[in-house]
Amino acid sequence: MTPDKSVEFWLSAQTGSFSASGQKQLLPRGPVSTLAARAQAFMNTLEDGPSVLVGAVPFDRNAADFIYQPVSTDNQPRLSSDGVTQATLSGACTITPAPSAQAYGAAVARCLQLIAGTRGEPAELRKVVLSRTLELAAAHDIDPEWLFGHLGHDRSITAFMTPLPSNATGAPPMLIGATPELLVSRIGRTVVSHPLAGSSRRHADSALDRQSAQWLERSDKNRREHMEVVDAVTEALAPFCDDVSTPEGTTLRPTATMWHLGTRIVGTLKDPETPVGELVNALHPTPAVCGMPRERAAQVIHDLEGYDRGFYAGTVGWMNASGDGEWYVALRCAEVHGAKARLFAGAGIVEGSEPAAEIDETSGKLLAILGALGIDENGHLLREQAA
C-alpha cells in the first residue's frame, strides 16, 4: 500500500507501519525535560479523539517540541514502494552545500584540535558529532508522500514523516527520513534502545562491500566510539530499569548505503508507571548524535556548525495514555517545504578521526535521502531506477 494524502504522520518499520491523519490538538509546546509531565496532563484531561500523541522533539533539549493529538490513527503492514513509479524529481534542481564539503572538513579539523586541547581536563571532550547540510531547490514542489514512499525501498530502515511548526499558512514543512536508529521504545514494562555508532560505506561491488564491513568490525577506533555510546545509554536507562542487558551484543547493522555498529539494549521497568516520555528525556540526545560529555559537545556543535539543527538528530515517534511509545532518532532526513528541502548528515568526531573520511561518511549518509529523490550530491539526476 502507498501513502495516503490525508496522512501527515507516518512511521514505517520492518514490523509494520503506524500512521496518523489530521491534527486535533497540539500538546502545549515545551522542552524535552517537561515532555512526560505535559503528556500526562494532556491525557488526563482528554475528552475525545485517540489517546495518542505523535510528533517530533528537536535536537536542542531546550527548544520546544512539536507533538499533537491526531484525528485518527491506523496500523498497517509495512509500506511497500512497489506502486511508486516516478523515480526522480521532475525538472532541474540545484543543490547548495551549507557548509561546503571543504568547510566541513575544516570544522572537523578544528574539532579535533578542541578535543586534543581538553585532554587531561576533568570534563575532557571525547566525541563531537558534526553535521553538514545540502540546500535543495527544485523546479516544482516536492510531494512529501512521494518522497516518503520512495524511502520504503530500503527495508532495513524505519521511514518517517512528521509535520514541523510553521508561521506561514499553507502546507507545513515536513521532516521526512529513513532512520536506522531506535532511541527508545517502551511497550508495557519492556524498554528497548538500539544505538548505532561507528560507520563505513556500502559498495555495489560485493568484495569491496565485505571489506568495508570487516574493516568496521575490526576498527578499534569505531569499536571504542561505539562502546562509549552503549555505556552512556545503559547508564541513562539504569535508574529506570531492573536488568539492562545487550542480548545479541554488538552487531553489524547494514542500511542500503551504510554499515553501522549497533547494540540492542533491553531493560525491564522497575516502576511500570514510568512513561516513554521520561525515557526520551533521560536519553536524548545520546552521544550517537551529540557527543561526550553532552553539554560540552552541544556547545561545540553550536559554535562550529553555524546553523540550527532544528529537528534533525531530534526524535520522532508516538506515545499513548498507557505510557507506551516508540521514538526514533531523526536521521538520514530532510526538512521539506514546497520546492525547497534541507538534507542533513553528521558523523562522530573522536581522536583519530580524519576530515576527508568524515566528509566521505557524511556523503554516504546523505545518499539515503538523495537516492530517494533520484539525484546525486550535485543535484544531477540518477539513472531512472526500477520502481
Q: What angle do CA 368, 285, 287 make, to 5 degrees?
A: 80
Decide: is 181 part of the binding site for ligand ISJ (CB under 6 A): yes
> Among this protein's residues, is 365 annotated catalytic?
no
Among candidate residues 5, 24, 121, 127, the one labeled active-site is 127
Asked if 225 and 127 touch (Cβ cutoff 8 Å), the reply is yes
As a three-state string, the secondary structure of 233-245 is HHHHHCCCECCCE
Among candidate residues 8, 145, 181, 335, the one labeled active-site is 181
Which C-beta is closer to ligand ISJ: that of 67 or that of 368? Answer: 368
Alpha-carbon distance of 53 to 285, in angstroms, equals: 20
Helix axis angle, 276-283 to 220-237, nearest 10°? 140
For residue 336, which phi and psi values (nearest 5 degrees)? -115, 125
168 contact partners, CB below 8 Å, separation of at least 6? none
Decide: is 332 part of the binding site for ligand ISJ (CB under 6 A): yes
* Element (DSSP H or E) covering residue 161: strand 158-163
Q: Pick from 52, 347, 369, 373 the residue near ligand ISJ by CB under 6 A.
A: 347
Q: x/- site string to ligand ISJ, residues 283 to 302, per CB under 6 A?
A: -----xx-------------
Which C-beta is closer to ligand ISJ: that of 87 or that of 176? Answer: 176
- What is the size of the binding site for ligand ISJ (CB under 6 A)? 18
Decide: is 365 part of the binding site for ligand ISJ (CB under 6 A): yes
Find the shortest distance in angstroms from Cβ 48 to ligand ISJ.
Answer: 39
Comparing C-alpha atoms, which of 318, 300, 307 is closest to residue 39? 318
Q: Pick from 331, 334, 372, 375 the residue near ligand ISJ by CB under 6 A.
A: 331
Find the shortest distance in angstroms from Cβ 305 to ligand ISJ.
Answer: 12
> Among this protein's residues, is 127 annotated catalytic?
yes
Residues that bind ligand ISJ (CB under 6 A): 129, 131, 181, 196-199, 260, 288-289, 331-332, 344-348, 365
Q: Which residues are catalytic?
A: 127, 181
